[in-house]
Structure 1
């Protein structure tokens, strides 16, 4: 009798567990995550040209030169933090196929980026399923899948830290925000696309200048293991400078201003483009400084979108992947300002078509992206003016 009762209890527990699993698997979030993982699994075998030319040779070099000790050699043109992952992949994950172990970090950060997107949208919608929708949209955005699962790129990693930076600024956890920004910069210099936002919140006295010290400090901490392995500090500090000298193209498949300028003017246009971009950033900063508007989360997000669109659109020497932060920030913008739903759609289309590399489409997309940028700036200016009018009226 006791044995029969025990068997019935066990069977009841098993059925209860099966029912729980069935309920969980039928939740949209769980189903979405599973489907997102399946898509990435299907993409894993693809080996991009960058994978064959850079990532796989770096992986092989690490294996042949003693793992961590390989860091003393100048065999990579990325900053060390990404190489640390290749060291981990070549040792702890050596049982996996190379292409999978290399791509794994980028795929993980797809989900990290989606998570901080969820957190930001949750600030706008404390109740409801909008944050979950935002989370899933990021995971199924074509450029996100393309970048990590197909191309083995790491733009999603530094972008995840930028989204985290915006989130922590919204939560007024400023030191943590600057550390996240520093981590982004330590991975890719393109994280600097968000710098105009940081300048604006500094000039609006929302953060102190001392908090900017977190950026170089974080970078130094991130390169320290490579220095410890024997690579000269001077080399480590000049990685980004050396990167900037590598490609001599005004625009490498990117839908920005320089699609319309022949590359033969490279030497003349590059310094002009740098000066013009600097002037545009300072002008934007000054315009916002002149207003008394409060930098609430929605305003921070609006400025963030302008920042990650403006800088790669005006800077020369950009690549097609450099609008990746704008892809993600525009999605969040669409949730904060649903009346402008077409903006994230436009940004995604332009970004994706630039991945396909068709020159005429890229030129058309550069016009569409320029129009989108102007529209977003104009809307910010109009809201700033309205805010000013309201404050003047209240004062009167």
Structure 2
């Protein structure tokens, strides 16, 4: 005889404990509500520029070096009936919840609802996720939530919404390119139809349309991610990111090292794509998650000019990967230790508490090697076959 869920003592206990963890997640974000950082002050300056330009009419002005969609959210935060600081953090917290939702779906499609809920709870309580938005005031949960949603759609064979969500990720921050590496594999592998890439200009135009209608220059919007406008983030080989450049801190050949970083990262991404395409492996859900997690670590690890928080997507996707492949349980621990350790400069400043960046980079490298080894071994072990057809599927989430 089946017992109704709410009459099952074990189920009631699970629901109660889940609720308790959600309360803890909320309390953790509430604790950081009054923290004002240097980056938050920059947002305040952008808000002042918006106000001087006429409030919502200022959305047609070239303000800051973020793309137009974030300025929409900044304006929205300013009209909420709360102080601007709280409004900004509330908006960011909403995307923490959206991120947790996509993590739930991406995990549950393979491991069931309970595993999906567990993965979502882990992510929403990850120290770097909590600190990033509610304390630091950063927007990484915004672009990362769309990226994870895009991975879920692509894993389900939903090409158009998958590419659209990936484009939304890119529209908020250039780091959305991390997930576009996955798209670059799925198209030649036959898992994603090339025509779905038409969603990229369509979505980009759609999110730019309000700013364009208010008078913002199309050319200025198209070049918002140009090196000239983003120069502040590329002066250093690494801006406290636990990347390969942590091992090259003493080099004087900055330009050469920077160029080699771009080229070697591109070579590794293309090499992974070639391996997958040449072996003609079936790109099912877990392999897509593995590829996404690999690129989310590999690209910021190899590129110059990365900040410590640019492994945010890797922190999240390695949790999902560990639920898909439990033998990789240690990978999110390595990634989280490296990322959180790199946050010590933000938390404590230049003090004795700041951890050695090379040691943190070694932890991130270990996570990268583990994921890369898993993917390569899996691909080489399978007999070449026909890739899964890129067609939409129904709700494949296990119950």
Q: TM-score, normalised by structure 2?
A: 0.87
Report the alpha carbon displacement of residue 280 of structure 1 after superposing the two structures with TM.
1.1
Q: Secondary structure at the match of 1:41?
A: helix
Is contact 1:346–1:369 with CA below 8 Å preserved after alignment? yes
Which is further off, 181-190 or 267-276? 267-276
RMSD: 1.9
Look up the match of 1:355. Answer: 343
> What's the CA shift string for 1:105-142, capped at 9, x where partnerless?
11111111111111111112235x22211111111100
Partners in 2 of 1:225 and 1:177 — Cα distance? 23
Q: Does 1:165 align with 2:153?
A: no
Partners in 2 of 1:114 and 1:103 — Cα distance? 17
Q: Secondary structure at the match of 1:240?
A: coil
2:104 paired residue among 95, 118, 122:
118
Q: Unaligned regions of 5+ residues in structure 1, if any?
A: 1-22, 392-396
Look up the match of 2:122. Answer: 137
Is contact 1:250–1:263 with CA below 8 Å preserved after alignment? no
2:378 paired residue among 370, 378, 383:
383
Partners in 2 of 1:34 and 1:188 — Cα distance? 30
Look up the match of 1:40. Answer: 29
Is contact 1:62–1:90 with CA below 8 Å preserved after alignment? no
Is contact 2:280–2:385 with CA below 8 Å preserved after alignment? no
Look up the match of 1:253. Answer: 240
Q: Does 1:207 align with 2:192?
A: yes
Look up the match of 1:98. Answer: 84
Partners in 2 of 1:126 and 1:146 — Cα distance? 29
Is contact 1:67–1:90 with CA below 8 Å preserved after alignment? no
Q: Unaligned regions of 5+ residues in structure 2, if any?
A: 1-11, 346-352, 387-399
Partners in 2 of 1:327 and 1:73 — Cα distance? 35
Look up the match of 2:271. Answer: 283
Q: Does 1:294 align with 2:282?
A: yes
Which is further off, 30-39 or 328-337? 30-39
2:230 paired residue among 244, 266, 269:
244
Q: TM-score, normalised by structure 1?
A: 0.88
Partners in 2 of 1:354 and 1:273 — Cα distance? 20
More helix by share: 1
Partners in 1 of 2:56 and 2:276 — Cα distance? 47
Distance 1:266 1:244, change over 3 A: farther
Distance 1:201 1:226, change over 3 A: same
Look up the match of 2:178. Answer: 193
Report the alpha carbon displacement of residue 246 of structure 1 after superposing the two structures with TM.
2.6
Report the alpha carbon displacement of residue 71 of structure 1 after superposing the two structures with TM.
2.1
> What's the CA shift string for 1:209-255, capped at 9, x where partnerless?
22112123211211121121112111111110034323311100100
Report the alpha carbon displacement of residue 25 of structure 1 after superposing the two structures with TM.
11
Largest Rg, 1 or 2: 1
Report the alpha carbon displacement of residue 103 of structure 1 after superposing the two structures with TM.
1.1
Partners in 2 of 1:194 and 1:81 — Cα distance? 19
Partners in 2 of 1:25 and 1:376 — Cα distance? 31
Is contact 1:103–1:152 with CA below 8 Å preserved after alignment? yes
User: With CA pairs under 8 Å and 6+ residues apart, which has the higher RCO, 1 or 2?
Assistant: 2
What is the aligned length?
365
1:184 paired residue among 153, 158, 169:
169
